[in-house]
Structure 1
């Protein structure tokens, strides 16, 4: 077995590989850029080597610098993680030339499967179902239109060397295919250094389902079942699960057999994933083969009990697989939520900054469920604009899909992140969404369910009552502590005030406290105006970010953050500013005027921190609704800003090449 391996990656996947290597008794070497000098993967590795500047091209994408780090540390093998050099045949060849093992497939498989155009041809030859589309590279916008017209709209434009949703566009007509071709090619060039794109038919009501394969160098190939990854935003996976709630046994067996056949045809070794698009009739078509470890691999590990990183290391060491196809059994259900640094309330735009508070839920058994959190950050760490915005991969396992989803909802409610915007509110709301819970999914789920963007759902009367009770009990505990501190000035009353009014958003909810004693833990009864009474118990103490307890028959975990004269409470995707009043103060509060919001309707504001790539307008120009105003790049994704109405450009306040903060004014309208 190897005595030392180098991880040619960063963040959570580097930490994930280090965790398994350490359990196997293998020393680890981390590599890091300028931006990652104080990152978690650097701290947890046995050794760390600086390899260059913050830009990926100057560090994580430099084969020469990775090779130099291997030689300097004596690393015998390299695990590439995913992204960066993980699917570069030249990297694998360079390592092998130096006698360093690559913990992944052979160059042939990487080369053939890493090019989406060539992999589609190869898959067809191997007898795998493929989607109709272009047979080669699309040369220009006219060529793109001709192909799209031939196979019929809608079509998907995809970067040949792409991955992670970058360089992908869906087009429904000629205008969209021409614009999408240019955008996809531009993103492909900046992200992969390869601007080639191709086109294929966009399958209606598609579900994204993939098969995990595992192969050794002795001719053994098995699959570990499927994962469903249909919850996507801009072709980037957001939530994954294993198994799929859609497949039947027959389709599962056929997909598994085709995935294994493809892996054998390409002489595959190591862990890999064959991705399929599945239509509403369970007809399935080959998308691509990822010749690396997938981001969503934890859900497969949770339902099969197989450590995929360990298997990759053992295969690279020349060992034969110790498990056969008959040993693979899916046990229970697993769900993964990708926690991103992005603002779901502003179109999921990227967010950067420092994690002033980072308190993930505790890993391990949680009742009949299990919680796992793969992360590469810590409290005080900085989310940089240079890399992927992923903060963590939160996973839950339980015996059934419903139980796994419920466990995920509770874990998300307990996941505290401050300092940046993040998508936990969206993920928490998703866990309550009827269509998600029923498994009625397509890759268009997010745009179909949130066509105007994500807006926090409104709390109904029962939900508002739960939020009000959380706030009231927090106030009771806080007031009791204050009363005891001031006992020298005025005697502690020794009892709880009975009548209260809690303002949740614009609602005023009268609540009556019955029984109970001051202090923490609290154990009392709270009555509503309609006469319903609920037993409430909590051990929450002032300063704790998460309130945990029971309200009636419901277990509740809610996050509390101070706001002027009250609290902001986040629970199950709901968010409300809450204030606790005596009845008289509530009467006075109703009379207070609301402050009007600032008018920014005559401005184009930068929706996220990023680089202004281009301006499409100039001062004095008249613009129609829907026309492009500017393009801003953030975390390697180009975001096109378009006019929401007919306007005239009065003043342009930024220039291409400027680094812009969120809400920076790019231009003003007349």
Structure 2
């Protein structure tokens, strides 16, 4: 759903494709013979459906997991709202299966579905088995075209250990670490070629004997050959305990070599945040625990599974950047970059384009503004981008890339390291395709050509006609683009499944919305159809994108899109407010800031501190004190006039402030773009701009502009709007008459009792009285910056060299955990029970073979693990908030769906939990408010 989409003008789009038939060279690339089965879900499935239809591909079907529709009541894949032909919808229990055996069964099932329904190709998108070499090879063997990289590329580039070795051979910079833990484990037991040969013979493995005797092949590579044969046969040559021992040794050695860095553990088959853990400094003993968690998360715990886990140095100032790579098996090229550093728990949140054109323009702007350090950083970024693009193209050729893939790197100032190649299209692929189109021209006649704007379309072209496609050139569409992932998460960015979207405003001008079809209205009634967010898979609801000539343009358009977006529903929690705050934080700070992957948690912690102080603010009490101060010393008519003015403005001032204090993410955005609106003078807030104009801007910022006919709850009220407009008109006229350059100059003029030239004394007295009335009570606005000052919110800032200064306190894990609970308070529990912190799937143990974390009669300490909840593909371990003894376990089966607030354990706490009374809460809030009032009155 979008009104600025590559499908936004079907006539133009269709004419462009029909144009291919104008000559024989173009006509040969027609793809209408393709009949794909789509085996992915989410926004990419709907996008593929749209692109296929626009390409004239009339026959395609979708695979539909039962988990898309039965985990939560009334949850239904939204694509079914447009694809209503039941013969094109093929149901399976789930997309991949829980283990290797079930995955193999699913692959066979997909092949049978394709054969029985006359599909000749498979589109796997960016999820599930999109990078599964076994599946891709099976599809190829079955005679199906796989719309994506071939099995050779998936093997050489997709498996993280193989990719690292290939990168080294291709001269690509890689992260320090080991990529062959399984080989090293095997060599401990079978330390030479003779021992490996004996193992091959005893297990009956299919290994090339000549390769084992080849002296040019490293011993570790020979061990990998033996392991590969064991995976094919489906047997284990090492135990998980033995692997953990090897990996622990590697971690300890790396920790000794790099004592100031943490260590990253990463499954070779992980992706999208799954299968990765970061070991804190000095905690190498936790390696076995984390390895088991990783293997369980990526479902490689079965006999014969490749259980290799990489051990890598964690670059602490990491910026996560990736290069879009494409190829046809012969040529390979890049299509610019994306910065994906704004992420949490390896889950990307906001992704922004990185292009040569954008960086060049930013360098020119920085130089013109005299920002030498910023220009220097941007020039280095340009140099790094060009180097990464070159390496991506070379790596693509080395692995025979014949489709679309992503070359991922980590960047640390002037250094970059290859991390992995994702042999699939990425969630954020549209960030790239909105910046560049591809121009294909006949090498013998440049006048015969066509352009491709969609990477999904390009994947189809490469699958159908790859070897014939000449290497294209890229054409700039937009200098910049940005994508915000709209997820079903709470204010602490924790997954929140099961909510119902009951209303979602339509996309506005300039908004590009990929929402899986959720926004489709009922074709008969034009009414929005409710949608239940299932929790079986990831938390993504939609992808919101904007474009611009500069990064600032792009972010400002994104802020405007989110400002005008309204979404309502039952038990609905999304990160929409988070994105509004974050985007405005960068607009208010420096749009060229270079955040690292560690930025989001400290940022959330700062937002949590805003919320904590907001919770302690009693606005009603603050208003009464401000009114009392304004009326002090006044008598008679003056007192009555001032009192009336204050009474009339109470809701005008309190309503937006109540919203901002209740919504800390939105408050973060407001504070960020209004940082320059005040100055602290002698410990008090002094406004640099007219508080009335700031108030009007605040209503606009909150999307509460006056709109007759809209619900009163969502806009400024009639009488408040009348007062506000009168005040704005008054100051507009006053500015014209006095010709004041700014608010400070106007205030200074109004403080004088003597009338300025051109205004008589009587009129001047009326003007000053009106000014006093309009300004009455506006001191309350100072509550917002005073909270920012109190919490040190503005200390989180962008340096001249574009790095971000993160105050040390925001890196404290205890504070981070505490502020996450402030943002999302745990369910209120009785003193004798522990409730589920979120909905999802309950597991009482680390792995199926492990012991339960706690059982009836067990004593637990604060910080001990209690259970794991799997929600939207992430495994979250929950720890005890206090010490106690388990009286009863209320959930005794793994894999059970639980809901937020559901009692899980009956317990007896070691210490009595003190509960604050309502009177104590009120007194505490008044006392806290009084501290802030000292800055206002």
TM-score range for the pair, normalised by the shorter chain length:
0.7 to 0.9
Query: Aligned with 2:176: secondary structure?
Result: coil
Please give the alpha-carbon distance, in whole angstroms, between the structure 2 residues aligned to 1:531 and 1:424.
Answer: 28
Please give the alpha-carbon distance, in whole angstroms, between the structure 1 residues aligned to 2:324 and 2:458.
Answer: 13
Query: Is 1:19 the equivalent of 2:50?
Result: yes
Residue aligning to 1:29: 61
Structure 1 segment 427-438 matched on structure 2, within 5 A:
427-434=579-586, 437-438=591-592
Structure 1 segment 25-424 matched on structure 2, within 5 A:
25-27=56-58, 28-36=60-68, 38-45=76-83, 48-54=88-94, 56-57=96-97, 62-137=106-181, 139-152=242-255, 153-172=261-280, 173-189=283-299, 195-217=307-329, 219-243=330-354, 248-279=381-412, 281-305=413-437, 306-319=453-466, 326-329=473-476, 331-345=478-492, 348-362=493-507, 365-366=509-510, 370-378=511-519, 379-413=529-563, 414-419=565-570, 420-424=572-576
Offset of residue 354 of structure 1? 4.8
Offset of residue 84 of structure 1? 1.5
Query: Aligned with 1:375: secondary structure?
Result: coil
Root-mean-square deviation over aligned CA pairs: 3.6
1:463-487: CA deviations, max 9, x gaps? x99xxxxxxxxxxxxxxxxxxxxxx
Query: Aligned with 1:276: secondary structure?
Result: strand
Structure ID, larger Rg = 2
Please give the alpha-carbon distance, in whole angstroms, between the structure 1 residues aligned to 2:475 and 2:254.
Answer: 40
Please give the alpha-carbon distance, in whole angstroms, between the structure 2 residues aligned to 1:534 and 1:451.
Answer: 29
Residue aligning to 1:444: 598
Please give the alpha-carbon distance, in whole angstroms, between the structure 1 residues aligned to 2:464 and 2:42.
Answer: 25
1:214-268: CA deviations, max 9, x gaps? 1124x22211000010011111111111017766221111100100000001111
Please give the alpha-carbon distance, in whole angstroms, between the structure 2 residues aligned to 1:122 and 1:329.
Answer: 31
Please give the alpha-carbon distance, in whole angstroms, between the structure 2 residues aligned to 1:415 and 1:211.
Answer: 34
Query: Aligned with 2:584: secondary structure?
Result: coil
Length, aligned pairs only: 569
1:376-416: CA deviations, max 9, x gaps? 53542322232222111111112221221122122223141
- Stretch moving more, 497-506 or 542-551: 542-551
1:550-573: CA deviations, max 9, x gaps? 9989xxxxxxxxxxxxxxxxxxxx
Is the CA contact (8 Å cut-off) linking 2:842 and 2:870 kept in structure 1? yes
Is the CA contact (8 Å cut-off) linking 2:404 and 2:425 kept in structure 1? yes
Is the CA contact (8 Å cut-off) linking 1:188 and 1:194 kept in structure 2? no
* Structure 1 gaps, min length 5: 466-496, 510-527, 554-596
Given the superposition, is the C-alpha separation of residues 92 and 504 from structure 1 closer, same or farther in structure 2, using an over 3 Å criterion?
same
Given the superposition, is the C-alpha separation of residues 224 and 53 from structure 1 closer, same or farther in structure 2, using an over 3 Å criterion?
same
* Structure 2 gaps, min length 5: 1-30, 70-75, 183-241, 256-260, 360-377, 438-452, 520-528, 620-645, 661-688, 700-704, 729-826, 845-851, 910-937
Query: Aligned with 1:57: secondary structure?
Result: coil
Offset of residue 54 of structure 1? 4.4
Given the superposition, is the C-alpha separation of residues 49 and 375 from structure 1 closer, same or farther in structure 2, using an over 3 Å criterion?
closer
Is the CA contact (8 Å cut-off) linking 2:179 and 2:309 kept in structure 1? no
Given the superposition, is the C-alpha separation of residues 498 and 633 from structure 1 closer, same or farther in structure 2, using an over 3 Å criterion?
closer
Is the CA contact (8 Å cut-off) linking 2:181 and 2:246 kept in structure 1? no
Given the superposition, is the C-alpha separation of residues 251 and 438 from structure 1 closer, same or farther in structure 2, using an over 3 Å criterion?
closer
Is the CA contact (8 Å cut-off) linking 1:102 and 1:316 kept in structure 2? yes
Query: Aligned with 2:881: secondary structure?
Result: coil
Offset of residue 177 of structure 1? 3.1
Offset of residue 599 of structure 1? 5.5
Residue aligning to 2:899: 661
Given the superposition, is the C-alpha separation of residues 186 and 651 from structure 1 closer, same or farther in structure 2, using an over 3 Å criterion?
same
Offset of residue 608 of structure 1? 1.5
Query: Is 1:640 the equivalent of 2:909?
Result: no
Given the superposition, is the C-alpha separation of residues 15 and 95 from structure 1 closer, same or farther in structure 2, using an over 3 Å criterion?
same
Please give the alpha-carbon distance, in whole angstroms, between the structure 1 residues aligned to 2:712 and 2:655.
Answer: 21
1:415-436: CA deviations, max 9, x gaps? 4142322221222221122467
Please give the alpha-carbon distance, in whole angstroms, between the structure 2 residues aligned to 1:60 and 1:382.
Answer: 27
Please give the alpha-carbon distance, in whole angstroms, between the structure 1 residues aligned to 2:838 and 2:607.
Answer: 15
Offset of residue 530 of structure 1? 6.9
Given the superposition, is the C-alpha separation of residues 360 and 162 from structure 1 closer, same or farther in structure 2, using an over 3 Å criterion?
farther
Residue aligning to 2:756: none
Given the superposition, is the C-alpha separation of residues 602 and 234 from structure 1 closer, same or farther in structure 2, using an over 3 Å criterion?
farther
Please give the alpha-carbon distance, in whole angstroms, between the structure 2 residues aligned to 1:222 and 1:506.
Answer: 52
Given the superposition, is the C-alpha separation of residues 529 and 248 from structure 1 closer, same or farther in structure 2, using an over 3 Å criterion?
closer
Which one has the bigger strand percentage? 1
Is the CA contact (8 Å cut-off) linking 2:489 and 2:495 kept in structure 1? yes
Please give the alpha-carbon distance, in whole angstroms, between the structure 2 residues aligned to 1:354 and 1:302.
Answer: 31
Is the CA contact (8 Å cut-off) linking 1:51 and 1:66 kept in structure 2? no
Please give the alpha-carbon distance, in whole angstroms, between the structure 2 residues aligned to 1:529 and 1:225.
Answer: 44
Is the CA contact (8 Å cut-off) linking 1:408 and 1:431 kept in structure 2? yes
Query: Aligned with 1:342: secondary structure?
Result: coil
Please give the alpha-carbon distance, in whole angstroms, between the structure 2 residues aligned to 1:438 and 1:140.
Answer: 43
Please give the alpha-carbon distance, in whole angstroms, between the structure 2 residues aligned to 1:90 and 1:545.
Answer: 55
Structure 1 segment 469-488 matched on structure 2, within 5 A:
none
Residue aligning to 2:771: none
Query: Aligned with 1:353: secondary structure?
Result: coil
TM-score by structure 1 length?
0.77
Is the CA contact (8 Å cut-off) linking 1:157 and 1:198 kept in structure 2? yes
Given the superposition, is the C-alpha separation of residues 506 and 85 from structure 1 closer, same or farther in structure 2, using an over 3 Å criterion?
closer
Query: Is 1:5 the equivalent of 2:49?
Result: no
1:347-399: CA deviations, max 9, x gaps? x3322225242415415x43xxx533343535423222322221111111122
Given the superposition, is the C-alpha separation of residues 278 and 507 from structure 1 closer, same or farther in structure 2, using an over 3 Å criterion?
closer
Out of 824, 832, 836, the position equivalent to 1:606 is 836
- Stretch moving more, 390-399 or 86-95: 86-95
Is the CA contact (8 Å cut-off) linking 1:34 and 1:50 kept in structure 2? no
Given the superposition, is the C-alpha separation of residues 504 and 100 from structure 1 closer, same or farther in structure 2, using an over 3 Å criterion?
same
Please give the alpha-carbon distance, in whole angstroms, between the structure 1 residues aligned to 2:254 and 2:296.
Answer: 24
Offset of residue 508 of structure 1? 12
Given the superposition, is the C-alpha separation of residues 332 and 118 from structure 1 closer, same or farther in structure 2, using an over 3 Å criterion?
same
Please give the alpha-carbon distance, in whole angstroms, between the structure 1 residues aligned to 2:299 and 2:505.
Answer: 36
Please give the alpha-carbon distance, in whole angstroms, between the structure 1 residues aligned to 2:711 and 2:462.
Answer: 49
Is the CA contact (8 Å cut-off) linking 1:425 and 1:456 kept in structure 2? no
Residue aligning to 1:617: 854
Is the CA contact (8 Å cut-off) linking 1:15 and 1:41 kept in structure 2? yes
- Stretch moving more, 424-433 or 41-50: 41-50
